Amino acid sequence: MKRTTISLTDDLASALDREVQRRRSSASEITREALAEHLGLAAGQPRDLTFAAIGRSGHSSTARDMESLLEQEWDDKPRRS
């Protein structure tokens, strides 16, 4: 486990202190849980793949036509040796 230091606003620090008392837990544990949930790393929670649609072309046939698309691209570009 890695140790880190963060700065909290007074309101956030007070809310964390209240949650520590309510749950009888540590500030570290509550912070780890909150970060894991926020980042989509909580146990049992499906993780968002934010990069999944990054290259979306808007065409529904791209995967099916991949070979011919690559062939067209490569034929248009000079080849390096």
Whole-number mean pLDDT of the chain? 83
CB 6 within 8 A of CB 12: no
CA–CA gap between residue 57 and residue 69 (Å, rounded): 12
Say what the pLDDT of residue 10 is: 97
CA distances to 11, 32, 44, 74 from 1, rounded to whole Å, are 27, 11, 21, 47
Q: Which residues contact 35 (CB under 8 A, 6 or more apart)?
A: 41
pLDDT tier, 70 (very low <50, low <70, confident <90, very high otherwise): confident
CA–CA gap between residue 33 and residue 25 (Å, rounded): 11
Tell me the pLDDT tens digit for each residue of 2-55. Answer: 999 999 999 999 999 999 999 999 999 999 999 988 887 877 766 666 666 666
